[in-house]
Amino acid sequence: MAPKKNTTRKPRTARPREPVVLPDPRPRWPIAAWTALGALWALGSLVAFVLVLTAAGVMPEDVTDATRREGAWALVWLLVFALAVPAAGTVWAALLRRPVAAVMFAFAFALSGAALWLIAPPAELWAALSGGLGRP
């Protein structure tokens, strides 16, 4: 049998323990805000566009001042959801220094603006708004 190995350990010197400091995680509320604004942009624009289409689908002999006013208000809501929501999201993201969110909302604004421009130029949109909301 082999002789037993001498395994004496050196005494450990006591080191003071320091806690590991972890940085605070970035807040998650902006993600929820971007998601809510994105959903508001997409769903609001879709619903407002359907309202514009239903207002435009009225037979010519059934057009009254009330139907013109309803169509104009549907168009106002379409402009709010399609243009104002992404513009507000772009500004808010830029102020919070969130470049990815700012670029995505700017892209949504450009996409909505291009889609509205293809549907009707701004002069026609203004004529529809003034014609529908200008009469009592």
pLDDT digits 0-9 by tens, 24-80 = 888 888 889 999 999 999 999 999 999 988 888 877 777 788 888 888 899 999 999
Angle between helices 65-79 and 29-56 (to 10 degrees): 150
Find all residues with CB under 8 Å of 52, minimum gap 6, and list them: 71, 74, 75, 78
Q: What is the C-alpha to C-alpha distance for residues 40 and 123, in angstroms, rounded to an integer?
A: 26
pLDDT digits 0-9 by tens, 65-121 = 888 888 889 999 999 999 999 999 999 999 999 999 999 999 999 999 999 999 889
Question: Of 102, 81, 99, nearest to 90 (Cα)?
Answer: 102
Torsion angle of C-alpha atoms 39, 45, 48, 54, degrees rounded to 10? -120
